[in-house]
């Protein structure tokens, strides 16, 4: 092996080792930064009356929110009927909500906000999970990737 080939081989090895070191160290620093950011921002807690504007636009005390672990998955043509039935049973119910990251079934599986809405778990004054009530009634469907399968599937 000539000196020139040996030099190129050493140089290529150094470049490869530097790249691997950058990828390994860079990833661990990015992950530590993300964990630090998540821990620095506490989960929101809020309460108020549930306002069902549509099955995808729920509000509590004027805040747009989504119930973690469930979603509306029925045909769009059924939404007005489902919305009206859900309103009859749950509109105006007093709820206490905690954002994802504050001890919900969706912690670690869902983002704390989505599309301008707070993603949260809400409970009635007697401690009942409103997402469970809505899924058990067939108005919303379990989203197992977020909830871990704790709600009723459609």
- DSSP string over 67-108: ETTEE--S-GGGHHHHHHHHHHHHTT-EEEEEETTSS-TTTT
**CA nearest 94: which of 51, 55, 136?**
51
Q: What value does the CA radius of gyration of the chain take, rounded to a whole number of Å?
A: 24
pLDDT of residue 151: 96
As a whole number of angstroms, the distance between CA 90 and CA 133 comes to 9
Asked if residues 110 and 146 have their Cβ atoms less than 8 Å apart, the reply is yes
- 130: nearest Cα among 53, 63, 81, 58: 58
pLDDT in tens, the chain (154 residues): 787 877 767 666 765 666 655 766 665 444 444 444 445 479 999 999 999 999 999 999 999 999 999 999 999 999 999 999 999 999 999 999 999 999 999 999 999 999 999 999 999 999 999 999 999 999 999 999 999 999 999 9
Q: Supply the pLDDT for residue 120.
A: 97
* Strand partners of residue 66: 119
Q: 123: which strand partners?
A: 96, 129
What pLDDT score was predicted for residue 1?
73
Confidence (pLDDT) at 37: 41
Say what the pLDDT of residue 33 is.
Answer: 46
Residue 10 confidence (pLDDT): 66
pTM score of the predicted model = 0.72
């Amino acid at each position: 092996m000539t000196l020139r080939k040996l030099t190129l081989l050493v140089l290529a090895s150094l470049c490869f080792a530097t790249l691997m070191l950058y990828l390994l160290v860079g990833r661990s620093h990015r992950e530590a930064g993300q964990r630090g950011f998540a821990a620095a921002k506490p989960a929101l807690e809020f309460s108020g009356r549930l306002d069902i504007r549509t099955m995808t636009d729920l509000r509590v005390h004027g805040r747009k929110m989504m119930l973690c672990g469930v979603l509306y998955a029925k045909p769009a043509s059924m939404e007005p009927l489902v919305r009206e039935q859900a309103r009859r049973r749950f509109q105006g119910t007093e709820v206490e909500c905690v954002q994802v990251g504050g001890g919900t079934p969706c912690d670690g599986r869902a983002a704390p906000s989505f599309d301008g809405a707070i993603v949260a778990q809400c409970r009635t004054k007697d401690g009942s999970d409103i997402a469970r009530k809505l899924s058990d009634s067939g108005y919303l469907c379990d989203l197992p990737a977020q909830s871990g399968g704790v709600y009723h599937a459609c």
